[in-house]
């Protein structure tokens, strides 16, 4: 009898999504900033402590909004890790500015604050902290560096919903934070995101940029008698249909996180002997971090061992995958960005990392099957 494959990711549905989409249709409000958008943004503001949350069509859109709000433009530089998804850098390049790539720490794989501090120049307009795998960056250090140089700290918390540093949610520490609700994230709506605005002085302009550069939000609040174009902006508003789907997920976000943590913890316990024997390295959590089990990865001893691991898991019907090609070595990164210092950790980690399947609905037997296959492959 054939054994069912274990995919890397399987989107989760709570069962309430279709009912809420039906409700959105009955509301006769399908465009953005409708009743379900209001529910989602209120939930985000309450759970993160952000001053204002704005739903967007993607985390990419939220990052682009953040660069607009930070007044990033031609001649400016924005410091960010090379080990991140392309959207982090493309949001900078779209403003005509230069992404400055710096190295990551070898433990958490998050951006190295010392490298960030050394990369600051007179042209630096912002710093972006990417919380890899939903594990917090060294936010106290990055906050100090940003404040010392008088630039905003933007959190790319695409993978960080319901993760926290200390008592405060990821995305709510810097002036702005960006979340993703892509289908590969812990909670999602297919494609979606949010911009968290944590500086009250940015809220009014953020609402304007969100509404295509118009003061439409002020009009609907009765603050102006008509709305018009007042600033740069774009179509950054998510539809209420997407928000309806997302609301079903946010309602159960705590349970989703708990169930993911069960899988993550089972992996971590089962693979400890392999790490003890020097055959792989497990994830490292940062101090003061409460993570959300977004991802479970292992680091093989070298690139060849990583490739063999992925291949042998595939032979057993288990889909494991690598992750980012470092942006500083990509064609667009070479053309549009620059590096500050060496990126030896980034280059090393990118060649050795493999991500294991992790999704709500994995059974204990699935986890055992994966860990047994990893053990067989590396031993």
Find how far residue 208's CA is from the centre of its chain: 24
Contact 104, 143 (CB under 8 A): no
Q: 312, exposed or middle or buried, with CB in 10 Å at 0-12, 13-18, 19+?
A: middle
Q: What is the pLDDT of residue 282?
A: 98
Task: Give residue for tokens 């007179």.
Answer: 122
φ and ψ of 352, to 5 deg: -120, -5
Q: What is the pLDDT of residue 1?
A: 60
Contact 198, 177 (CB under 8 A): yes
List the chain domain ranges: 17-251, 253-378
User: By C-alpha distance, which of 318, 289, 40 is closest to 157?
Assistant: 289
131: number of Cβ within 10 Å: 29
Q: Residue 169: which residues within 8 A CB-CB, separation 6 or more?
A: 47, 48, 49, 50, 160, 162, 163
Q: What is the pLDDT of residue 68?
A: 98
Q: Which fold has domain 253-378?
A: 3.90.1150
Contact 166, 152 (CB under 8 A): no
Q: What is the pLDDT of residue 187?
A: 98
pLDDT beneath 50, residues of the chain: none
Contact 135, 292 (CB under 8 A): no
What are the tokens at 364? 């204990």
> Residues 5-19: pLDDT tens digits?
999 999 999 999 999
DSSP H helices in 113-194: 113-119, 139-149
Q: Which fold has domain 17-251?
A: 3.40.640
User: By C-alpha distance, which of 240, 187, 251 is closest to 36?
Assistant: 240
Contact 154, 66 (CB under 8 A): yes
Q: What is the pTM of this model?
A: 0.96
9: number of Cβ within 10 Å: 14
Q: Residue 48: which residues within 8 A CB-CB, separation 6 or more?
A: 168, 169, 171, 172, 177, 196
């Amino acid at each position: 009898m054939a054994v069912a494959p274990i995919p890397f990711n399987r989107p989760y549905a709570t069962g309430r999504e279709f009912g809420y989409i039906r409700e959105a249709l009955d509301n006769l409000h399908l465009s953005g900033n409708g009743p379900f958008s209001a529910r989602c943004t209120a939930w985000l503001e309450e759970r993160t402590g952000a001053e204002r949350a704005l739903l967007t069509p993607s985390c990419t859109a939220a990052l682009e909004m953040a660069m607009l709000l930070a007044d990033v433009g031609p001649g400016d530089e924005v410091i960010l890790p090379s080990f991140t998804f392309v959207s982090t850098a493309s949001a900078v390049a779209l403003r005509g500015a230069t992404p400055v790539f710096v190295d990551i720490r070898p433990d958490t794989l998050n951006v190295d604050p010392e490298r960030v501090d050394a990369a600051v120049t007179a042209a630096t307009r912002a710093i972006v902290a990417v919380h890899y795998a939903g594990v917090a960056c060294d936010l106290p250090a990055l906050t100090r560096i940003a404040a010392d140089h008088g630039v905003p700290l933007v959190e790319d918390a695409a993978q960080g919903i319901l993760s926290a540093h200390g008592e405060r949610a990821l995305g709510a520490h810097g002036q702005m934070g960006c979340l993703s609700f892509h289908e590969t994230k812990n909670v999602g709506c297919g494609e979606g995101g949010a911009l968290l605005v944590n500086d009250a002085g940015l809220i009014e302009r953020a609402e304007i940029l969100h509404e295509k550069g118009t003061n439409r939000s002020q009009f609907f609040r009765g603050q102006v008698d008509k709305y018009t174009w007042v600033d740069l902006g774009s179509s950054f508003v998510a539809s209420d249909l997407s928000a309806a789907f997302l609301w079903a997920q946010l309602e159960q976000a705590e349970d989703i996180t708990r169930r993911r943590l069960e899988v993550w913890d089972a992996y971590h316990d089962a693979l400890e002997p392999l790490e003890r024997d020097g055959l792989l390295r497990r994830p490292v959590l940062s101090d003061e971090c409460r993570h959300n089990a977004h991802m479970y990865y292992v680091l093989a001893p070298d690139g060849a061992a990583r490739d063999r691991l992925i291949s042998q898991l595939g032979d057993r019907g288990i889909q494991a995958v690598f992750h980012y090609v470092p942006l500083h070595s990509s064609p667009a990164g070479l053309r549009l960005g620059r590096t500050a210092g060496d990126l030896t950790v980034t280059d090393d980690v990118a060649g050795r990392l493999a991500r294991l399947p992790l999704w709500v609905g994995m059974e204990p037997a699935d986890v055992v099957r994966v860990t047994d296959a990893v053990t067989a492959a590396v031993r």
